[in-house]
A and B are shown apart, each in its own frame.
Chain A
Amino acid sequence: MAAATCWQQVWAAAQQPPPRFRSFTEPEAAEIAALAETILPEDDGTPGAKTAGVIRFIDAALAGHDEHKRPLYRTGLQQVQQQRRALFPDSSSIAALLTDQRIALLRAVEDTPFFSQLRRHTVMGFFCHPKYGGNRDQVGWKHIGFEPKMHHHHPFGAYEQEPE
């Protein structure tokens, strides 16, 4: 009987989806993702931070190379939430703000070390090699016209062909 109970517990646990994030709770991840999307928004039909999977990149970075930056994220996010409540007392979360409200919120904190780190991580997640979890389907590289190739062929640009 004891063995069967044990297996039942294991089975039940296996039915739970694994946590999606290693460094954030689900609500934290949603808030950080909303901030990242404000830094690099989907605009004019070009994908933004969300489509690129920037939150995946940040989550992995904070669980690895940048683990020492977790406290900055904790306190930084708290400060941004305070700022949000001050600016928009009726709001419930960053993710629930309107686009213009999120822009106003980030303007209010853009000189903080947390914002500077978040901008850095957002850009990294948008342009990193996709193996790091961001730049999904190379959307970052496509946005700026960067083609990653081992061999490029001349002419590279318009001016090599242009008569003087």
Chain B
Amino acid sequence: MKPMRRYSTREAVDFAVIGAGAAGGVVASELAKAGFSTVVLEQGPWLQQKDFAHDELAVMQRSLYINDHRKQPNTFRRRPEEQAKVQPAIEYARMVGGGSVHFTANYWRFHPNDFRERSLFGGVPGADLRDWPIPYDELEPYYTRAEWELGIAGQAGANPFDGPRSKPYPLPPLPVKSSGVLLDRAAKKLGLHSYPAPMAILSQPYRGRAACSECGYCEAFGCEMGAKSSTLAALIPGAVATGNCEIRPHSYVQRIETGADGRVNGVLYCDARRRTLRQRAKAVVVCANGAETPRLLLLSASKQHPQGLANGNGLVGKYLMFDTGIFVHGVFAKPLNEYKGAVVSRVIQDYYAADPKRGFYGGAGLDARYDLYPMTFALDGMPKDEPQWGAEWKKNIGYRYTRMMGILAHLSCLAVERNSISLDPEVKDAWGLPAIRVTFENHADDLKNMQWAADRSKEVLDAAGAEKIWQDKVASMTYSLHLMGTCRMGDDPRHSVVNRWHRSHDVKNLFLVDGSSLVTCGRQQPTATIQALAFRAAEHMAKAARNGELA
């Protein structure tokens, strides 16, 4: 393979992309293939398959792949009137490939109704539920594109609640696990529709990549086989091979710079040796996730943009949506060994749609899994009303580990204006930049939905024959891995940060593409939608650049 093309920082490249994750990897690869010079600034390292290992201590307990809260602290408060305290509240993968490297690999499309829930359901007091500016049909070709470019396994038509699709999945579903067999059995009894999980994991070799070896280390880990369809495995090599794309790992962006004309013209960042460098660029695409993207915009305040970039209306960072869900645990008579293989093999979406008859807004997608690794299982896996140490506890963990299966209910999270990412006035990160301040409290409907979904999950586990069932506590979320909604997309510049093409309403050569664009969050599992949007946005950016709109 040719060595990677390097660009001078003084040369104004066509695009500087900030963040090489699920969205940034797609955008960079599409722009490079379209012939544009692209520099990708990624704060984390560029790991390869050989660097990944089955080391729960390093990965789960010592922040090997994620933002290290010791270097990148955040503060947290539930409401704006409270004093925020240092308390880890957000998590994202910090490496080339980003969250697409370490995610569980559930790859759910949003439903057509997700894009028009305000029209269908009506307004919710205390929240700002809105329709998207684009319908499902407009995004559908890009969902298909994402599924084929990345390599998604699934069975088209198996989920009766899915929207129409123009093409089947490129790969057949992964084999069913014991949890899947039990979910199928329960669904049949309850009149529900379980179906093979769509997963970003190769069930067969695909485009030069190996199939899954069923080692079981998907969630939170990187895939040694390259079988997980991350942008790292599926797109970055091709992007680099175009000769138009330079990936620059260990590049911690401090601010985006603005010229006298109010347009952005470069990016200031700190490299691995702590030198401050300036990459000039004709256009900037921020793909830094729903927490870091708004933070960077706020850090980039200037004479031209005193409230922060793209923030003329003050909405940057607002409407933060958290990864809201609830887990119900089940113990079965015989071993399932759920730790083996891809995490999820069957899903139920019968409860997905919001229904006014329930008396609250919300819905749930249920998947069958048991995703606790040994250490995490022993630390947190047993019900809180049982002993947590000593002989009885040890006996319980010994008996149950292989016999557990749970239902994870992936839930809605209403967009509430006061839930936000802002700059902490006091706390700084290891680079001396203001830390992220998270303000978050679930809307009351989210909490009602949580208990309702836990009750549905219990019915499912009961129908599946579980011997013992318990649920996690219903409480407002204080920690999230999906960071969404903080630079929402919309046609009206008064109520949104980017337009339907992810272009800032205020700054014509600035694009924001990641979870921050989401208007609603579906039932979590946002990666497919973020990536479909990224394919669509990149196509538009390339068109705009060709038309001379960005020069």
Is B336 a contact of A129 with CB atoms below 8 Å?
Answer: no
Any chain B CB within 8 A of the CB of A96?
no
- Contact A144/B374 with A39-B389, A41-B391 known, Cβ cut-off 8 Å: yes
How far is it, in angstroms, between the C-alpha of A131 and the C-alpha of B375 when the chains are bound? Answer: 15
- Shortest Cβ distance from A154 into B: residue: B175
Is B402 a contact of A145 with CB atoms below 8 Å?
Answer: yes
Q: Nearest-CB distance from B400 to chain A (Å)?
A: 8
Q: Nearest-CB distance from B468 to chain A (Å)?
A: 17
Any chain B CB within 8 A of the CB of A119?
yes
Is A151 a contact of B394 with CB atoms below 8 Å?
Answer: no
Q: Nearest-CB distance from A94 to chain B (Å)?
A: 15
**A 145-161 to B, binary, CB cutoff 8 A, 1 in contact else 0:** 11011111111111110
Q: Number of contacting residues on B, CB 8 A?
A: 42
Any chain B CB within 8 A of the CB of A162?
yes
**B 395-424 to A, binary, CB cutoff 8 A, 1 in contact else 0:** 101100110000000000000000000000
Q: Nearest-CB distance from B194 to chain A (Å)?
A: 13
Q: A127: which B residues are within 8 A, CB to CB?
A: 56, 374-375, 378
Partner of B216, one of A43, A65, A152: A152
Q: Nearest-CB distance from B218 to chain A (Å)?
A: 12
How extensive is the interface on chain A, given as a class?
35 or more
Q: B215: which A residues are within 8 A, CB to CB?
A: 149-152
Is B214 a contact of A152 with CB atoms below 8 Å?
Answer: yes
Is B401 a contact of A144 with CB atoms below 8 Å?
Answer: yes
- Contact A129/B377 with A146-B339, A151-B215, A162-B181 known, Cβ cut-off 8 Å: no
**A 19-30 to B, binary, CB cutoff 8 A, 1 in contact else 0:** 000000000000
Q: Nearest-CB distance from A56 to chain B (Å)?
A: 14
Q: Nearest-CB distance from B111 to chain A (Å)?
A: 30
Is B395 a contact of A157 with CB atoms below 8 Å?
Answer: no
Partner of A152, one of B55, B332, B335, B341: B341
Is A140 a contact of B374 with CB atoms below 8 Å?
Answer: yes
Is A160 a contact of B55 with CB atoms below 8 Å?
Answer: no
Is B390 a contact of A153 with CB atoms below 8 Å?
Answer: no
> In B340-383, which residues have CB < 8 Å from any A CB?
340-341, 374-375, 377-379
- Shortest Cβ distance from A159 into B: residue: B178
- Contact A119/B56 with A145-B335, A150-B213 known, Cβ cut-off 8 Å: no
- Shortest Cβ distance from B398 into A: residue: A143
Q: Nearest-CB distance from A154 to chain B (Å)?
A: 5
How far is it, in angstroms, between the C-alpha of A115 and the C-alpha of B213 when the chains are bound? Answer: 39
Q: Nearest-CB distance from A72 to chain B (Å)?
A: 16
Q: B377: which A residues are within 8 A, CB to CB?
A: 144
Is B336 a contact of A158 with CB atoms below 8 Å?
Answer: yes
Q: A148: which B residues are within 8 A, CB to CB?
A: 54
How far is it, in angstroms, between the C-alpha of A151 and the C-alpha of B341 when the chains are bound? Answer: 9
Is B401 a contact of A41 with CB atoms below 8 Å?
Answer: no
Is B401 a contact of A128 with CB atoms below 8 Å?
Answer: no
Is B391 a contact of A160 with CB atoms below 8 Å?
Answer: no
Q: Nearest-CB distance from B467 to chain A (Å)?
A: 13
Is B176 a contact of A164 with CB atoms below 8 Å?
Answer: no
Partner of A43, one of B175, B334, B391: B391
Q: B332: which A residues are within 8 A, CB to CB?
A: 159
Q: Nearest-CB distance from B459 to chain A (Å)?
A: 19
Partner of B214, one of A110, A146, A151: A151
Q: Nearest-CB distance from B157 to chain A (Å)?
A: 23
Is B379 a contact of A123 with CB atoms below 8 Å?
Answer: yes
How far is it, in angstroms, between the C-alpha of A151 and the C-alpha of B335 when the chains are bound? Answer: 18
Is B213 a contact of A123 with CB atoms below 8 Å?
Answer: no
Partner of A129, one of B57, B213, B214, B334: B57
Is A128 a contact of B375 with CB atoms below 8 Å?
Answer: yes
Any chain B CB within 8 A of the CB of A46?
yes
Q: A156: which B residues are within 8 A, CB to CB?
A: 177-178, 214, 336-338, 340-341
Q: Nearest-CB distance from A159 to chain B (Å)?
A: 4
Any chain A CB within 8 A of the CB of B388?
yes
Interface centre among B339, B379, B394 (most CB of A within 10 A): B394
Is B389 a contact of A106 with CB atoms below 8 Å?
Answer: yes
Q: A164: which B residues are within 8 A, CB to CB?
A: 185
Is B57 a contact of A150 with CB atoms below 8 Å?
Answer: no
How far is it, in angstroms, between the C-alpha of A38 and the C-alpha of B215 when the chains are bound? Answer: 33
Q: Nearest-CB distance from A151 to chain B (Å)?
A: 5
Is B57 a contact of A158 with CB atoms below 8 Å?
Answer: no
How far is it, in angstroms, between the C-alpha of A141 and the C-alpha of B335 when the chains are bound? Answer: 15
Interface centre among B182, B185, B224, B340 (most CB of A within 10 A): B340
**A 34-66 to B, binary, CB cutoff 8 A, 1 in contact else 0:** 000011110110101000000000000000010
Any chain B CB within 8 A of the CB of A73?
no
Q: Nearest-CB distance from A128 to chain B (Å)?
A: 5
Q: Nearest-CB distance from B331 to chain A (Å)?
A: 13
Any chain B CB within 8 A of the CB of A74?
no
Is A146 a contact of B374 with CB atoms below 8 Å?
Answer: yes
Partner of B388, one of A44, A119, A128, A132: A119
Any chain B CB within 8 A of the CB of A86?
no
> In A107-128, which residues have CB < 8 Å from any B CB?
110, 119-120, 123-124, 126-128
> In A77-124, which residues have CB < 8 Å from any B CB?
103, 106, 110, 119-120, 123-124
- Contact A144/B402 with A129-B54, A151-B213, A158-B178 known, Cβ cut-off 8 Å: yes
Is B375 a contact of A132 with CB atoms below 8 Å?
Answer: no
Q: Nearest-CB distance from A16 to chain B (Å)?
A: 32
Q: A157: which B residues are within 8 A, CB to CB?
A: 177-178, 334-338, 402
Q: Nearest-CB distance from B395 to chain A (Å)?
A: 7
Partner of A41, one of B175, B394, B402: B394
Is A146 a contact of B401 with CB atoms below 8 Å?
Answer: yes
- Shortest Cβ distance from B60 into A: residue: A124
Q: A103: which B residues are within 8 A, CB to CB?
A: 390
- Shortest Cβ distance from A129 into B: residue: B55
Q: List 13 A-B contacts (CB under 8 A).
A: A119-B379, A129-B56, A143-B398, A144-B374, A144-B377, A152-B213, A152-B340, A153-B214, A156-B214, A156-B336, A156-B337, A159-B178, A159-B332
Residues of B within 8 A of A (CB): 54-57, 61-62, 175-178, 181-182, 185, 213-216, 224, 332, 334-341, 374-375, 377-379, 388-391, 394-395, 397-398, 401-402
Would you list the 8 A-B pairs with minimal beta carbon distance, nearest first? Answer: A157-B178, A144-B401, A158-B334, A157-B336, A159-B178, A152-B340, A127-B375, A127-B374
